[in-house]
């Protein structure tokens, strides 16, 4: 009599134990998530610790400047902001041409903090926006993966994403760029989509549209979402997985999302006009047709249904053909087929290099190399295939989405380095799934093997009463039917989902586990190997965060035998411009430095990193590649007072203007045909030594870069090109050196005023026309100055 | 130049025409020890120190001595101090300074500005008194030429009078001009002019009438840093948690000759002394000892060129601007540092007072406009300021971290500030120690209420409508869940009972104790009946729910399993009763056993399935 009573009591305690355990699991995963967030934030602080709390690189400076404006002038002024400090004399309507998500986010954080009387500067807020949003992104990854494969996979994926180098590269503290916020928005939108798909509630569908709106605000990459989700919907329909949940997940997103997207000034009517969005509308129509068909199918008897189908299909085909023909005609009539250049270069990787040198000239628009995959996602590259397999066991709506996501993002990352960023979350999610499944299998089999080996030694207090009975029955039923092996995988995965909620009837599971179980030794070894792999990943990520991706690129450091050298030349030059030139002076430089000049030096620039006007950039490119006189005329007609060039030859800074010069020639030559690339190349080779062409040696860029350079060491040895320069002694007639930084990395020249120059010049040029093969050309180029 | 000289000439005439004020006689005005007027031109701040022996020649008692300065000088005068002469040595901020006031005596030439020095006691006839006067002038050196190239040296011109300008007659007087360097472009040669290396001596001159004036001009090389802060905002923030934070925002300009033409880094790096002599590259700030957390930055980030050396006496900070400062070039930067509170904050009769230096810690810096803001902790009251010299003064409020009504800020403004102004000043205020706890308490209570709100939210049912369909459905679903859970429990208990039965069978095969086995069977029967009774109401409750079908199937399967187990049990027990062989019994049971396992499998599957709902 005693035995049954104890067993019921045991069941009772087990039940309470389970709830306790669930609660404990919840608290544990909450704290793990919290720690993941802290890690995601703190791993990105290397740049602040190693360098300083400063905005990085190029684009972030523009965003920072816009945020400053927003903080100072308010939202309405921001929308109407016409910036006359850039693209002189055209100007730029910032409010209408910028993705405002990041700016508004940081502006809101700043405003919130200040209204709570926490007086942080705009700069501080901007610097730390990216790390904060990385933490959000890893939490969003947890949610998304949890929807797909359960809590364990979610936590693993979140931890992986928190430190994936690819994402770190765009979101270290100070890297105040759109992507920092956009990746969070991307993952969160996907999460809400999957959540809607799993639950079918309109609430989440609405949230999904709002998240999509935030994504549209933040980044041009939103087109990825609006193409991927329709693809997935189509996939579901084709594979016969249509359901009302799918409809609720998709239809509101298209309607609300498109309406909201059109509210963003930079998108506006593009949300319905450009081809990037057509896929979503097409699928929107298809899903309605399918929904209608399912509805009719429910109403009619099977026979009637067949009749109706033949009727509708014959009529519908004709109508569809007509509509599609009209659509194609419409699209084909526009020159770019309704696609923007960047999107086209995604579909056709060779498009940019053929037609748009400006897009091709940006290094982050180049296709990545294999090492960069290893650098950016490291061991995830190996785990991804395993994760994809795990997604098929079993295939659900959510896991099919993940498969589709990883497949498309792998393609896109192969086209542009920059889109590696889109791949990173997908890789983290699939790898998270793979890792957690593998851990499940290994730990499960270890647990089984241990309990199986010594039945009474390692058992929970709650299981003691039944364990003896269990093991005995096990002994009786040694021959387990083999048939169950067939549906093993699905059951296994089901079990995965409720690892925490362990049921009282462990016996049957133990049976199944026995079949799945690996030998103890091999599972222990595999487990160790997996941990090792994870450790390797962590080490790599920390290294990448600390060494590779933390440099702000405006401050350079180098370690030499006598300690750390700091090259702060950029800011030196910008500070000089800011304090020692007139407020309204115009500074010409290659577009790379436009954003920095406006933000740090607060001077008007001719072109900047928002490369919206190719002709304008080509004008600057032409001036840089023209001889001095012609260049002076172009610059003078643009009202330029100072010309800024970046020169790395003295200290060996490789990304200077001489190395970028061919792009200036190409872009300039694309608009002004008298600039010909072959003129600057000797036998197809770009060189600046004595073999260089006279056009090259006489162009403005060469002269401004190497003016008096030979006097530094007597030979004029360029440490970037590793060669002696071709033309060593020359004078400037139309420009004068205004400022050169400590390591010569930035050289600023002032245009000489016109009157004095013309008189002095006619005399001088005659006296020193030793190398004026270009003098007949001067008169030629003079006429072609586009600004006269 | 010419007009300048002419102006002085006019001045001289004007002075000569005016009558003597009183019968005081400056018996000896010395610009050299012991009674000398000395002009220090060794920096861009001009310091004139004079030792004056004043003698009363008239019958009346005199206690005021007038000092006269031409308007040109008075405009640039930053600091004037008089002190009784104490033997040898220069004027060294003596403890008792003589009160100096601006005076406006009648019948005096308008082109002169007067200051009156009050003597400690009135001078009777024939008495004499000796005191030192230190006057400091800014912007008194004029670069000539006004624009120079990078390679040029900077030449400056200083103009003054060789005679001591005074409303009194001067008996003996001499002047020495100290220059930074012996390279002198030109200087006015008068009688008795001597030159000693970098020092020019004029005089001694004797028996000069009142207002005698003899203009001199010295044109000399000066490559000392002409650092001028056009504006300096100093913010001193007191935290009673132990820190005084000083933040100084400088707007700096090189006040010397304007640079023109090219700036060549090459020349500057290769021959910095020749090419770029007029530029200054660094500034030195003498911070108080134990200064910590020093930073040096501008609006675009940290400036990495600085050095900090510290010992127990002072902390020396050497900062380089981002670029070398040539004539006319500007820059702006911020330095900040923390100081230990106990070094600067004292208490006297219930009031606290801050005792800290007024001006910038920079060496030889002229400040055109200095604004000192003292931010007192929130809740301070009865604020008063004691400054050693007149300053403009008003109050503001600053809202900083977690403030509610802001911190009181005392703002002091002074123009034309020189290092001599770097004296201590005091800010007195009342502050209750309890106010310190305000912000921590606020934070604690804020978080506390946040958590309480969270708890309330988690536990309270805040649905808008208790009768809405979705709400009801949710409630119902929760109930169903609970019931299903109960059903599962019961089923699993049933299964345990089955296991017990099996165990009893095994016992039987081992011990052959049929009675015990039967007893176990009985107990199990009773328990199972009880359980099925328990199950009934639950099933009826579940009838309408969507998962009813599965649950019912589960229950049915379980019944079947139960029956099969019973049958098996009885078969085995029968077998033992009939004393059949173990193999026979096994044969008999084999079929049943197979069915049992299959059923058990199904039940398990169903349990799992239901569990997933």
Cβ atoms A568, B304 nearer than 8 A: yes
Inter-helix orientation angle A278-299/A244-263, to 10°: 150
Q: Is the CB of B497 less than 8 angstroms away from the CB of A7?
A: yes
- Give the CB-side neighbour count of residue A650, counting CA atoms within 13 A: 24
Nearest to A118 among B402, B492, B612 (CB): B402
Segment among A62-66, A107-111, B362-366 with least mean pLDDT: B362-366
Q: What is the CA A296 to chain-centroid distance, rounded?
A: 44
Q: Which pLDDT band, with edges at 50, 70 and 90, does A452 fall under?
A: low
In the A/B pair of chains, how many CB contacts fall below 8 A?
137
Nearest CA in chain A to B527: A4
**Are B127 and B253 in the same domain?**
no
Q: CATH number of the domain that B279 lies in?
A: 2.60.40.1730
pLDDT in tens, B255-273: 888 888 788 888 887 777 7
Strand order in the sheet with B315-319: B283-287, B315-319, B306-310
**Are B157 and B213 in the same domain?**
yes
Segment among A123-132, A275-284, B109-118, B504-513 with least mean pLDDT: B504-513
pLDDT in tens, A560-585: 777 788 888 899 999 999 999 998 89
The answer as to whether B7 is a domain residue is no
CB contacts, 8 Å: A501 with chain B: 611
**Are B241 and B216 in the same domain?**
no
The answer as to whether B249 is a domain residue is yes
Cβ atoms B366, B44 nearer than 8 A: yes
Query: Of A196 and B495, which is predicted with more confidence?
Result: A196
Cβ atoms B265, A744 nearer than 8 A: yes
User: What are the residues facing B174 on neighbouring strands?
Assistant: B30
The answer as to whether B369 is a domain residue is yes
Where do runs of H (alpha helix) occur along A416-544?
420-453, 464-476, 488-497, 506-516, 520-543
Segment among A368-372, A720-724, B568-572 with least mean pLDDT: B568-572
**Whole-number Å distance between alpha carbons of A481 and A485:** 8
Q: Does B228 touch chain A (CB under 8 A)?
A: no
Inter-helix orientation angle A222-238/A178-199, to 10°: 20
Nearest to A737 among B263, B329, B399 (CB): B263
The answer as to whether B13 is a domain residue is no
CB contacts, 8 Å: B404 with chain A: 117
Closest Cα of chain B to A211: distance in Å? Answer: 25
**Do strands A717-718 and A681-682 pair parallel, antiparallel, or not at all (unpaired)?**
unpaired
CB contacts, 8 Å: A580 with chain B: 329-330
Element (H, E) at A250: helix A244-263
What chain A holds in terms of domains, given with CATH numbers, is 23-332+366-437 (no CATH), 339-365 (no CATH), 566-751 (3.40.50.12610)
- Average pLDDT over chain A reads 81
Q: Is the CB of A8 less than 8 angstroms away from the CB of B493?
A: yes
Q: Which pLDDT band, with edges at 50, 70 and 90, does A124 fall under?
A: very high
**B418 class by beta-carbon count within 10 Å (0-12 exposed, 13-18 middle, 19+ buried):** buried
Q: Given phi > 0 = left and psi -120 to 50 = alpha, else beta, which region is B387?
A: beta
Predicted local confidence at residue B434, as pLDDT: 84
Predicted local confidence at residue B601, as pLDDT: 80
Q: How many domains does chain B have?
A: 3
How far CA B292 is from CA of A48, A659, A668, B5, B355, in Å, comes to 20, 44, 54, 52, 18
Dihedral sign for Cα atoms in the order A535, A538, A544, A547? negative
Q: What is the CA A699 to chain-centroid distance, rounded?
A: 37
Q: CATH number of the domain that B31 lies in?
A: 2.60.40
- pLDDT above 90: residue B189: no
* Domain termination residue (choose one: B158, B189, B221): B221
* Domain termination residue (choose one: B221, B255, B280): B221
Cβ atoms B263, A739 nearer than 8 A: yes
Give me the domain span that covers residue B575: 473-612
**Are B193 and B52 in the same domain?**
yes
What is the model's pTM? 0.80
Residue count of chain B: 613
φ and ψ of A772, to 5 deg: -90, 60
pLDDT in tens, B193-241: 888 878 888 877 877 887 888 888 888 888 777 888 999 999 999 988 8
Question: Please, which residues 490-549 of chain B have a Cβ atom closer than 8 Å to chain A?
Answer: 492-493, 495-497, 499-500, 502-503, 506, 523-524, 527
- pLDDT above 70: residue B594: yes
Closest Cα of chain B to A630: distance in Å? Answer: 22
Closest Cα of chain B to A646: distance in Å? Answer: 15
The answer as to whether B319 is a domain residue is yes
Q: Is the CB of A568 less than 8 angstroms away from the CB of B304?
A: yes
CB contacts, 8 Å: B264 with chain A: 708, 737, 740
Predicted local confidence at residue A182, as pLDDT: 92
Where would I find the beta strands (DSSP E) of A568-669?
586-588, 604-605, 642-646
Q: Is the CB of A744 less than 8 angstroms away from the CB of B265?
A: yes
Q: Which pLDDT band, with edges at 50, 70 and 90, does A205 fall under?
A: very high
Q: Is the CB of B403 less than 8 angstroms away from the CB of A498?
A: no
- pLDDT above 90: residue B511: no
The answer as to whether B276 is a domain residue is yes
User: What are the tokens at B116?
Assistant: 């009156």
Q: Does B303 touch chain A (CB under 8 A)?
A: yes
**Whole-number Å distance between alpha carbons of B255 and B100:** 30
Predicted local confidence at residue A396, as pLDDT: 87
Average pLDDT over residues B304-312: 84
The answer as to whether B322 is a domain residue is yes
**Are B69 and B196 in the same domain?**
yes
Q: Calculate Rg over the CA atoms of chain B.
A: 49
The answer as to whether B32 is a domain residue is yes
**Are B237 and B353 in the same domain?**
yes
Q: Which pLDDT band, with edges at 50, 70 and 90, does B480 fall under?
A: confident
Nearest CA in chain B to A120: B401
Average pLDDT over residues B442-449: 94
Average pLDDT over residues A743-755: 87
Q: Does B475 touch chain A (CB under 8 A)?
A: no
Nearest to B399 among A117, A574, A579 (CB): A117
Query: Of A754 and B18, which is predicted with more confidence?
Result: A754
The pairs formed by A27-33 with CB atoms below 8 angstroms and a separation of 24 or more are A29/A151, A29/A155, A32/A155, A32/A159, A33/A139, A33/A142, A33/A155, A33/A158
**Are B418 and B487 in the same domain?**
no
Share of chain A above pLDDT 70, in %: 82
Closest Cα of chain A to B318: distance in Å? Answer: 17
pLDDT in tens, B391-417: 899 999 988 888 888 889 999 999 888
* Domain termination residue (choose one: B198, B221, B244): B221
**Are B116 and B212 in the same domain?**
yes
Q: Which pLDDT band, with edges at 50, 70 and 90, does A204 fall under?
A: very high
**Are B359 and B250 in the same domain?**
yes
Q: Is the CB of B401 less than 8 angstroms away from the CB of A579?
A: no
Q: CATH number of the domain that B494 lies in?
A: 1.20.1420
**Three-point CA angle B94, B98, B103, nearest 5°:** 145
User: What are the tokens at B199?
Assistant: 């020092």
Predicted local confidence at residue B244, as pLDDT: 92
Closest Cα of chain B to A451: distance in Å? Answer: 19
- pLDDT above 80: residue A772: no
Q: Is the CB of A579 less than 8 angstroms away from the CB of B332?
A: yes
Q: How many CB atoms lie within 10 A of CB B605?
A: 16
**Are B405 and B540 in the same domain?**
no
pLDDT in tens, A209-262: 999 999 999 998 898 899 999 999 999 999 888 888 899 999 999 999 999 999
Which residue is listed with tokens 């506006």? A268
**Are B400 and B267 in the same domain?**
yes
Nearest to B523 among A4, A504, A555 (CB): A4
Q: Which pLDDT band, with edges at 50, 70 and 90, does B77 fall under?
A: confident
Closest Cα of chain A to B226: distance in Å? Answer: 17
Closest Cα of chain B to A1: distance in Å? Answer: 7
CB contacts, 8 Å: B499 with chain A: 466, 469-470, 473, 507
User: What are the tokens at B343?
Assistant: 């070094």
**Are B294 and B152 in the same domain?**
no
Cβ atoms A186, A422 nearer than 8 A: yes
Q: Is the CB of A574 less than 8 angstroms away from the CB of B607?
A: no
List, in order, residues 6 or more apart from A660 with CB less than 8 Å away: A361, A590, A592
Closest Cα of chain B to A264: distance in Å? Answer: 31
3-state helix, strand, coil in chain A (%, to 5): 70, 5, 25
User: What are the residues facing B375 on neighbouring strands?
Assistant: B237, B409
Q: Is the CB of A481 less than 8 angstroms away from the CB of B332?
A: no
**Whole-number Å distance between alpha carbons of A148 and A395:** 10
CB contacts, 8 Å: B608 with chain A: 491, 494-495, 503
Question: Please, which residues 24-53 of chain B have a Cβ atom closer than 8 Å to chain A?
Answer: none
Average pLDDT over residues B434-452: 91
């Amino acid at each position: 009599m005693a035995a049954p009573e104890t067993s019921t009591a045991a069941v009772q305690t087990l039940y309470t134990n389970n709830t306790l355990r669930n609660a404990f699991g919840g608290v544990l995963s909450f704290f793990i998530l919290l720690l993941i967030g802290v890690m995601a934030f703190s791993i990105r602080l290397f740049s602040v610790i190693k360098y300083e709390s400063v905005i990085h690189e190029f684009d972030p400076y523009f965003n920072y400047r816009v945020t400053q404006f927003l903080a100072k002038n308010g939202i309405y002024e921001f929308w109407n902001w016409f910036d006359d400090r850039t693209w002189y004399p055209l100007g730029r309507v910032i409010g209408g041409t910028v993705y405002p998500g990041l700016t508004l986010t940081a502006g809101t954080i700043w405003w919130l903090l200040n209204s709570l009387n926490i007086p942080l500067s705009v700069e501080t807020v901007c610097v730390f926006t990216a790390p904060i949003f990385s933490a959000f992104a890893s939490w969003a990854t947890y949610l998304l993966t949890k929807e797909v494969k359960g809590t364990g996979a979610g936590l693993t994926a979140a931890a992986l994403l928190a430190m994936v180098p690819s994402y770190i590269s765009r979101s270290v503290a100070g890297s105040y760029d759109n992507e920092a916020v956009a990746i969070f928005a991307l993952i969160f939108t996907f999460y809400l989509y999957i959540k809607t798909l799993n639950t079918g509630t309109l609430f989440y569908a609405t949230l999904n549209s709002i998240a999509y709106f935030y994504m549209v605000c933040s980044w041009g990459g939103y087109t990825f979402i609006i193409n991927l989700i329709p693809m997935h919907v189509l996939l579901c329909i084709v594979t016969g997985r249509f359901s009302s949940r799918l409809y609720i997940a998709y239809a509101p997103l298209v309607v609300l999302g498109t309406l909201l997207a059109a509210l963003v000034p930079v998108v506006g009517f593009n949300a319905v006009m450009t081809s990037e969005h057509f896929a979503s509308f097409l699928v929107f129509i298809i899903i309605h047709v399918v929904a209608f068909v399912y509805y009719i199918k429910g109403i009619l008897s099977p026979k009637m249904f067949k009749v109706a189908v033949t009727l509708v299909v014959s009529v519908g085909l004709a109508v569809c053909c007509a509509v599609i023909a009209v659509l194609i005609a419409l699209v084909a009539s526009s020159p770019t087929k309704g696609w923007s250049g960047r999107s086209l270069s995604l579909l056709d990787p060779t498009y940019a290099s053929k037609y748009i040198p400006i897009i091709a000239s940006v290094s982050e628009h180049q296709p990545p190399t294999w090492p960069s995959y290893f650098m950016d996602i490291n061991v995830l590259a190996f785990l991804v295939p395993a994760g994809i397999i795990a997604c098929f066991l079993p295939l659900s709506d959510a896991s099919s989405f993940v498969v589709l996501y990883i497949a498309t993002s792998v393609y896109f990352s192969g086209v542009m380095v920059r889109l590696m960023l889109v791949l990173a979350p997908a890789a983290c999610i699939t790898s998270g799934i793979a890792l957690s499944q593998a851990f499940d299998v290994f730990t499960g089999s270890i647990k089984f093997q241990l309990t199986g080996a010594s039945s009474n030694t390692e058992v929970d207090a709650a299981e003691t009463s039944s364990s003896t009975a269990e093991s005995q029955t096990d002994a009786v039923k040694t021959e387990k039917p083999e048939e169950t092996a067939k549906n093993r995988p699905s059951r296994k995965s089901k079990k995965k989902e409720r690892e925490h909620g362990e049921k009282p009837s462990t016996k049957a599971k133990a049976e199944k586990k026995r079949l799945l179980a690996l030998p103890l030794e091999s599972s222990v070894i595999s487990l160790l190997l997996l941990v090792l792999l994870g450790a390797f990943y962590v080490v790599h990520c920390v290294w990448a965060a600390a060494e590779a991706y933390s440099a702000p690129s405006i401050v350079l450091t180098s370690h030499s035998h006598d300690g750390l050298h700091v090259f702060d030349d950029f800011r030196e030059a910008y500070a000089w411009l800011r304090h020692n030139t007139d407020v309204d002076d115009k500074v010409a430089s290659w577009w790379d430095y436009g954003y920095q000049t406006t933000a740090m030096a607060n001077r008007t620039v001719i072109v900047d990193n928002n490369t919206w006007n190719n002709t304008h950039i080509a004008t600057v490119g032409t001036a840089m590649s023209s001889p001095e006189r012609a260049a002076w005329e172009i610059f003078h007609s643009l009202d330029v007072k100072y010309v800024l060039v970046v020169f790395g030859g003295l200290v060996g800074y490789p990304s200077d203007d001489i190395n970028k010069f061919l792009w200036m020639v190409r872009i300039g030559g694309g608009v002004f045909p008298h600039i010909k690339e072959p003129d600057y190349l000797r036998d197809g080779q770009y060189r600046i030594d004595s073999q260089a062409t006279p056009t090259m040696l006489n162009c403005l860029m060469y002269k401004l870069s190497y003016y008096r350079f030979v006097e530094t060491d007597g030979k004029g040895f360029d440490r970037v090109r590793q060669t002696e320069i071709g033309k060593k002694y020359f004078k400037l007639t139309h420009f004068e050196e205004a400022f050169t930084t400590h390591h010569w990395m930035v050289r600023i020249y002032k245009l000489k005023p016109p009157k004095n120059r013309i008189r002095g010049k006619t005399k001088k040029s005659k006296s020193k026309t030793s190398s004026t093969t270009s003098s007949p050309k001067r008169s030629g180029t003079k006429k072609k100055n586009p600004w006269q | 130049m010419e007009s300048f000289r002419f102006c002085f000439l006019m001045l001289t005439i004007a002075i000569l025409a005016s009558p003597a004020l009183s019968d005081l006689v400056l018996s000896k005005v010395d610009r050299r020890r012991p009674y000398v007027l000395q002009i220090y031109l060794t920096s861009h701040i001009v310091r004139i120190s004079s030792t004056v022996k004043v003698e009363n020649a008239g019958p009346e008692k005199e206690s005021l001595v007038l000092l006269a300065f031409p308007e040109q000088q008075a405009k640039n005068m930053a600091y004037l101090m008089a002190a009784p002469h104490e033997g040898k040595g220069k004027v060294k901020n003596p403890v008792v300074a003589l009160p100096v006031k601006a005076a406006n005596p009648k019948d005096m030439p308008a082109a002169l500005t007067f200051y009156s020095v009050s003597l400690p006691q009135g001078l009777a006839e024939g008495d004499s008194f000796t005191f030192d006067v230190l006057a400091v002038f800014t912007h008194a050196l004029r670069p000539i030429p006004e624009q120079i190239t990078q390679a040029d040296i900077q030449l400056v011109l200083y103009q003054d009078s060789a005679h001591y300008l005074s409303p009194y007659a001067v008996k003996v007087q001499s002047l020495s001009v100290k220059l930074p360097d012996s390279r002198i472009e030109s200087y006015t040669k008068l009688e008795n002019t001597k030159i000693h290396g970098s020092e020019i001596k004029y005089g001694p001159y004797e028996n000069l009438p009142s207002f005698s004036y003899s203009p001199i001009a010295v044109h000399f090389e000066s490559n000392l840093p002409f650092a001028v802060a056009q504006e300096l905002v100093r913010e001193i923030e007191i935290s009673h948690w132990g820190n005084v934070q000083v933040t100084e925002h400088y707007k700096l300009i090189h006040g010397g000759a304007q640079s023109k033409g090219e700036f060549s880094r090459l020349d500057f790096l290769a021959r910095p002394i020749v090419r770029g002599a007029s530029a200054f590259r660094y500034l030195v700030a003498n911070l108080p000892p134990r200064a910590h957390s020093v930073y040096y930055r501008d609006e675009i980030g940290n400036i990495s060129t600085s050095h900090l050396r510290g010992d127990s006496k002072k902390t020396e900070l050497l900062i380089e601007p981002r670029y070398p400062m040539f004539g006319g070039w500007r820059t702006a930067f911020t330095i900040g540092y923390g100081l230990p509170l106990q070094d600067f904050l004292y208490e006297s009769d219930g009031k606290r007072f801050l005792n800290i230096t007024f001006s910038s810690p920079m060496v030889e810096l002229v400040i055109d406009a200095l604004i000192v803001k003292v931010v007192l902790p929130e809740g301070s009251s009865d604020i008063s300021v004691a400054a050693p010299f007149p300053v403009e003064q008003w109050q503001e409020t600053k809202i900083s971290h977690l403030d509610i009504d802001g911190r009181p800020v005392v703002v002091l403004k002074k123009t034309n500030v020189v290092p001599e102004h770097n004296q201590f000043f005091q800010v007195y205020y009342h502050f209750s120690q309890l106010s310190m706890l305000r912000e921590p308490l606020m934070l604690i209570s804020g978080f506390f209420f946040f958590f309480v709100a969270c708890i309330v939210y988690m536990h309270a049912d805040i649905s808008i409508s208790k009768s809405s369909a979705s709400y009801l459905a949710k409630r119902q679903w929760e109930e169903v869940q609970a019931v299903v859970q109960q059903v599962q429990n019961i089923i699993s208990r049933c299964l345990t009972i089955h296991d017990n039965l099996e165990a009893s069978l095994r016992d039987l095969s081992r011990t052959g104790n049929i009675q015990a086995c039967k007893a176990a069977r009985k107990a199990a029967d009773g328990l199972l009946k009880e359980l099925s009774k328990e199950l009934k109401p639950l099933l009826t409750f579940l009838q309408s729910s969507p998962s009813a079908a599965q649950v019912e199937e589960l229950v049915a399967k379980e019944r079947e399993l139960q029956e099969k187990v019973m049958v098996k049990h009885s078969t085995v027990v029968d077998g033992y009763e009939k004393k059949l062989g173990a193999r026979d019994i096994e044969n008999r049971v084999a079929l049943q056993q197979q069915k049992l396992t299959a059923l058990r499998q199904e039940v398990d599957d169903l349990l799992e399935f239901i569990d997933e709902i």
